[in-house]
Amino acid sequence: MGVMTYREALNLALREEMRRDPRVFILGEEVGVYEGAYKVTQGLLPEFGEKRVIDTPICESGFTGVGIGAAMLGLRPVVEMMTFNFAILALDQIVNTAAKLCYMSGGQYNVPIVIRGPGGPAHQLAAQHSQSMESYFYHVPGLKVVRPSTPRDAKGLLKSAIRDDNPVIFIEAETLYGLKGDVPEDPEFTIPLGVAEVRREGTDVTVIAYMGMMYRSLEVAEELERDGISVEIVDPRTLRPMDIDTIIGSVRKTHRAVVVEAGAGFAGMGSEIVAFITEHAFDDLDASVERVTGANAPMPYARNLEQLKTPSKEKIKAAIRKVCYA
């Protein structure tokens, strides 16, 4: 077990998988000579060479399409989006080709591709670079969607994503790249996709949250513990397939639930989680499920407005108190 940053854990996962499997290669804007906009691919070009770490032109649709074609022929490409906001330019390749080829070919073509990069709220990156893009992808049959919250998860889930035979959308966070944590150094360490993690055990209310909102919820849970409210926090880690059993099991224990997400709320991940809690655990609930979401507006550049747009500790705390009648 070693202590490393989230960025270093991603880098280690890529390095280990490229050493293990010669079919794995990386392509994207500035992933080679510049070593990635956020240095996730640092040191990979000197070790693996320009045929496996490929700098591309600024054309997300083009290099995503190249990756899909390579995957159809048996390779295992990892496509880096400089920011997942740019994946909008490759939506047709991802949604109409990568996600559907296995179905439309009657199972003749798998597309084992990973499309990874940062997404979600950051620090003053404004409307076009701070979107929670997972909502664009988890609606699409044929895609798996991962959002790892810790360095350990970043390594274990990325390795599983690379080994998966399906297209995987792997969205990281600019705000977590410098976060340090324990990471197993075993090159065979993986975390299966579709398995949630209980980050904090509690008895009064279940909070479902991931990425930055998970850490904010943990801070709130510590504060409410002093007031006698015991909060259990579940991190889904994989949004599709979602580990419904772990979430429902927690709700059946606490009888209350709050879902926290940084996205704009309407038709968001929180809506989906509330729906299956209601479908599977309605009789177990002692209060209606609450959602805490980002404001339904583009992300502002101004720091004070950015803070108003993003779910705050005060809003999370108020939602928990509401379902606990406290």
pLDDT tens digits, one per residue of 98-154: 999 999 999 999 999 999 999 988 888 888 888 888 989 999 999 999 999 999 999
Q: What is the mean pLDDT of residues 35-57?
A: 97
**Integer Cα distance of 183 and 68 in angstroms:** 30
E strands, the chain, in order: 2-5, 24-28, 53-55, 76-80, 114-118, 144-146, 168-172, 180-183, 197-200, 205-208, 231-235, 238-240, 257-260, 290-292
CA distance 54 to 25: 8
CA 167 to chain centre: 14
Distance CA 182, CA 188 (A): 16
Active site residues: 60, 129
Q: What is the pTM of this model?
A: 0.96
pLDDT single digits (tens) 240-259: 999 999 999 999 999 999 99
Give the whole-number percent of the chain exceeding pLDDT 90: 90
Backbone angles phi, psi at 38, to 5 degrees: -115, 15
- Token pair, residue 23, equals 């079919």
What pLDDT shows up at residue 130? 83
Is the dihedral angle over the CA atoms 45, 50, 56, 62 positive or is it negative? negative
Q: Can you read off the two tokens belonging to residue 128?
A: 């076009």
Q: Which two tokens stand for residue 139?
A: 């609606």
The pLDDT assigned to 129 comes to 85
Mean pLDDT, to the nearest integer, of 36-52? 97
